[in-house]
Amino acid sequence: MRSHPSPSGIFMRPQALNQVYTCFRLLVGAPKEKAESGVSANETGDVYACPITADTKDCRRLNLLNSNFEDPKNDVMDGMWLGVSIASQSQPGGRVLACGHRYVRNFATNFRMIGRCYVRGNDLQYNTADSQWQTYSEVCDPRDDQTSEGMCLAGMSAAITQTEIFLGAPGCFNWQGNTFSLWYNPEDKFGDMKSKLPNLKKGNIYIGKAGLQPYKDTVVTGAPRDEARGSVTMAEVFKASVSGEVKIKATVVGEQVGSYFGSSVTIVDLNNDGWKDLIVGAPFYFDRRKDEGGAVYVYMNQNESFRDKADVVLTGPKDSAFGMAVVGIGDVNQDGFQDFAVGAPYHSKGRVYIWMGNKTGISQMPSQVIEGKDIPGGGFQTFGYSISGGMDVDGNSYPDIAVGSLDDHWANYTEICITLIYCLYKVAPIAFLLSVSLVEPVPSGRQTLEDLSAFPVISQRYALTGRAEIHIQKACGSDNKCESNLQMMAAFTDEQNGLQIFHYSTEVKKLKLMVNVSNVKSQDRKAEDAYGALLNVTIPTSLSFSSLNPKVRSIDVLRNYTFVPSTFRTEYSGRVVGESAMKSSSDIGSPVEFNMTVALSGNPLGNLGFLEVVFQWPYAVANQKWLLYLSEIQMAGTSKQFCVPENNVVNPLNLTVSDWFYDYLSIDPAEAEELQYEVPLWIIIVSVLAGVILLGLIVILLWKCGFFKRANTRELYEAKAQKAEMKTQPSENNRLTEED
């Protein structure tokens, strides 16, 4: 493990292993490192070289800015992020490459952020004898603005081979990006050629931002914002007599918006067929239903072509940035197949997954998982942010890997394998169980490089326990495998008349079950011995076992229920609504009603048992989109109106159910004979007494209100009328006067 010598430069992102003839060292970038003395800047970044030793403080700063005396005068070094990308020729005495993509050329009135890279020899010093490679030359043209190459950010990703340098420049052509190839003729000291992509008129897709991988005359690079889903392009470098050109030959596109597909890329021959396979990381992929975060897509090479859809998709835990780093690490287990590593830096303290290549393809389960939190004294925060490998640094014939963290630590791992051979001698029929585990010794803590052969690991690709059964020789043919022809018949019987038509009802007090098991040779099956045959009879809790009486009976069985399904044909209609916008079942689409009727003969089951109806329906299509959404199950003829099975299969989105429904289950019990209902005598007597009392109360109430005084009032009215009539009669005198 290594720690940064200065707490100010804790941003250690890229790394590369470099071989110095007979020994190795690790190159680590610190893009936020303070500027070295003599440089008019505050923060420039730099590169550190660390020998593979147990000393955690022996890393040496390269001071690249002061090592080249041909620097132009009109430049801005402050904030250039030197060390953002590092590459090595990975051979004894090979060159190294380091870039800072935020380097700026100052044109008095305009600033051009074009980026800058440094090439150094095996001694990590500037060598005039190697001026063809090490002399500074600008890749991008700083005279143009951002619509051309004036904001190219060259060196944000980088790679170096024995004859070529490849630089990613995501700022070219209004952030379309570009891939530059600088070829150096090994037979001509002054022969070099620059090749690049043309302007594709596709801005803001970031070609060359990350994931730059060369192979022969082909360069593979990612464009993580292409069509918002990201893509990976495979381009061929054409070297003409005057200038070269990079032409895109094939492109694979990501499947999810914002997943940053193509931010990490590697090419590895996983199945050893001679063709390089493509592995692409998408660290921001997510699946909220499965709690997955980050994905790695594996495309198997089909004779220099790739399918549009990945052959294998690997996913990591939620919010882990699984796929932030994807790197080929060589054949770590020496089985003849190349392997690769995947970083998930934001899962806990960080994690690195190892997958082993094989002939049949890549499995979903990794062969090994390395946790950053398990490293004693590591103190990592984002273990797995960067990975480098493929070189054997300790001489044990197994390639090693270096893992970086987005802080001030990195760790180095070596791989070893153990082959276990065991022999067993059969003496009796046995079941053999083998468990494999390792007891790791505690590190000595000395300031010396530990022999990692004393700290092996077990590949997680294989099971740690194994079970095998060893049988005695049996009379079952040359293969010693018995092929029986067991047949079973079961029926209920009656010992009195030998025949019973069984009705499962409350009238049956005693049940007799006859089971006939045979092993007879048939036309297509042998009838070899059936060792260890068992007959299991499950008795309901409402019944009690009585006895076992092996008698033979011939009976018929009548099934006492009928099941009437229904068929339907439906077509989708309506407005398509996303799942997050669904509020009620009417937002799903056209309703589908499916009726099932179960009719029972005889008396109801009561407490003798229960009836279970099992049905399946097409709930989703191949891409997990809803097909038939089960909103509710209504029942008739049962004690409950709705059926609510386990596992939340009914209305899993908790939508408001409309008046229509999808599934309707009706259970019709047998018709029972109607019995005449007789009212008890005491109810009649109480009813009569209550009526008499009520009538008396009504009469008293009317009397109090004067209802029965109406006749006296009428007589009073008649008397008053007679008196008034008497007063109006004339006297005798008046009557005589009138007659006169």
**CB 12, CB 29: distance < 8 Å:** yes
Per the confidence metrics, is the pTM higher than 0.75?
no
Tell me which of 231 and 537 has the higher pLDDT.
231
Say if residue 275 is in the same domain as residue 320: yes
Residue 347 C-alpha from the chain's centroid: 14
pLDDT at 551 over 70: no
Among 4-8, 268-272, 586-590, 599-603, which stretch is predicted with the lowest mean pLDDT?
A: 4-8
**CB-CB neighbours of 685 under 10 Å:** 10
Q: How confident is the model at residue 699 (pLDDT cuts 50, 70, 90)?
A: confident
Coil, helix or strand for 402? strand
Q: How confident is the model at residue 230 (pLDDT cuts 50, 70, 90)?
A: very high
Tell me which of 420 and 268 has the higher pLDDT.
268
Among 112-116, 144-148, 219-223, 605-609, which stretch is predicted with the lowest mean pLDDT?
A: 605-609
Of the three residues 386, 416, 451, the one that is the final residue of a domain is 386
Tell me which of 648 and 461 has the higher pLDDT.
648
Q: Where are the alpha helices (DSSP H) in 176-293?
A: none
Tell me which of 613 and 728 has the higher pLDDT.
613
Sign of the Cα torsion 277, 282, 283, 286 reads negative
Say if residue 316 is in the same domain as residue 239: no
Query: β-pairing, 663-668 with 594-600?
Result: parallel
What confidence score (pLDDT) does residue 539 get? 82
Q: Which H or E run includes 247?
A: strand 244-253
Please provide the average confidence, as pLDDT, over all residues in the chain.
78
Residues 6+ apart with CB under 8 A from 104: 75, 76, 80, 111, 112, 113, 114
Say if residue 40 is in the same domain as residue 75: yes
What confidence score (pLDDT) does residue 603 get? 57
Indicate whether 29 belongs to any domain. yes
Say if residue 165 is in the same domain as residue 269: no
Q: What is the mean pLDDT of residues 260-270?
A: 94
Say if residue 69 is in the same domain as residue 169: yes
Say if residue 298 is in the same domain as residue 207: no
Say if residue 328 is in the same domain as residue 353: yes
What confidence score (pLDDT) does residue 264 get? 94
Determine the Cα–Cα distance for residues 288 and 249; give it in Å rounded to an integer.
35
Say if residue 29 is in the same domain as residue 81: yes
Indicate whether 14 belongs to any domain. yes
Q: What is the mean pLDDT of residues 294-316?
A: 93
Say if residue 327 is in the same domain as residue 381: yes
Q: How confident is the model at residue 422 (pLDDT cuts 50, 70, 90)?
A: very low
Indicate whether 132 belongs to any domain. yes
In degrees rounded to 5, what are phi and psi of residue 719?
-65, -45
In degrees rounded to 5, what are phi and psi of residue 614?
-115, 130
Of the three residues 340, 355, 386, the one that is the final residue of a domain is 386
Of the three residues 386, 405, 423, the one that is the final residue of a domain is 386
pLDDT at 570 over 70: no
What does the pLDDT look like over 48-66, one tens digit per residue? Answer: 988 877 777 788 899 988 8
Report in angstroms the alpha-carbon separations of 441 from 371, 378, 435, 445.
Answer: 18, 18, 19, 12
pLDDT at 414 over 80: no
pLDDT at 625 over 80: no
pLDDT at 29 over 70: yes
Indicate whether 319 belongs to any domain. yes
What confidence score (pLDDT) does residue 421 get? 41
pLDDT at 147 over 50: yes
**CB-CB neighbours of 299 under 10 Å:** 20
Tell me which of 706 and 150 has the higher pLDDT.
150
What confidence score (pLDDT) does residue 601 get? 63
Say if residue 190 is in the same domain as residue 67: yes
pLDDT at 584 over 80: yes
Q: How confident is the model at residue 3 (pLDDT cuts 50, 70, 90)?
A: low
Q: For the chain, how far is it from start to end, CA to CA, in angstroms?
A: 160
pLDDT at 662 over 60: no
Amino acid letter, residue 699 = V
What confidence score (pLDDT) does residue 449 get? 61
What confidence score (pLDDT) does residue 222 get? 93
pLDDT at 4 over 60: no
Q: Which domain holds residue 111?
A: 1-253
Q: What is the mean pLDDT of residues 206-215?
A: 86
Q: What is the mean pLDDT of residues 39-47?
A: 89
Q: Which H or E run includes 687?
A: helix 681-704
Determine the Cα–Cα distance for residues 656 and 666; give it in Å rounded to an integer.
23
What confidence score (pLDDT) does residue 394 get? 76
Q: What is the mean pLDDT of residues 107-122?
A: 87
Determine the Cα–Cα distance for residues 79 and 62; give it in Å rounded to an integer.
17
Indicate whether 642 belongs to any domain. no
Say if residue 281 is in the same domain as residue 360: yes
Q: What percent of the chain has pLDDT over 90?
A: 27
Q: How confident is the model at residue 303 (pLDDT cuts 50, 70, 90)?
A: confident
Of residues 175, 164, 255, 259, the one with CA closest to residue 212: 164
What does the pLDDT look like over 152-186, one tens digit per residue? Answer: 999 999 999 988 999 999 999 999 999 999 888 88
Q: What is the mean pLDDT of residues 371-391?
A: 85
Determine the Cα–Cα distance for residues 126 and 177; give it in Å rounded to an integer.
30
pLDDT at 393 over 50: yes
pLDDT at 462 over 90: no
Q: What is the mean pLDDT of residues 197-210?
A: 91
What confidence score (pLDDT) does residue 659 get? 60
Q: What is the mean pLDDT of residues 636-661?
A: 79
Among 4-18, 218-232, 277-291, 560-574, which stretch is predicted with the lowest mean pLDDT?
A: 4-18
Structure tokens at 153: 């950010």
What confidence score (pLDDT) does residue 665 get? 45
Q: What is the mean pLDDT of residues 118-141?
A: 87
DSSP annotation of 655 reads: P
What confidence score (pLDDT) does residue 733 get? 54
CATH number of the domain residue 19 falls in? 2.130.10.130
Indicate whether 183 belongs to any domain. yes
Indicate whether 573 belongs to any domain. no
Q: What is the mean pLDDT of residues 105-117?
A: 86
Coil, helix or strand for 95? coil
Say if residue 241 is in the same domain as residue 303: no
Indicate whether 144 belongs to any domain. yes
Determine the Cα–Cα distance for residues 715 and 718; give it in Å rounded to an integer.
5
Q: What is the mean pLDDT of residues 622-641?
A: 81
Determine the Cα–Cα distance for residues 97 and 155; give it in Å rounded to an integer.
10
What confidence score (pLDDT) does residue 148 get? 92
Domains in the chain, number: 2
Report in angstroms the alpha-carbon separations of 729 from 717, 721, 734, 739, 740.
Answer: 20, 14, 10, 15, 18
What confidence score (pLDDT) does residue 614 get? 79
HSE toward the beta carbon, residue 509, CA cutoff 13 A: 0
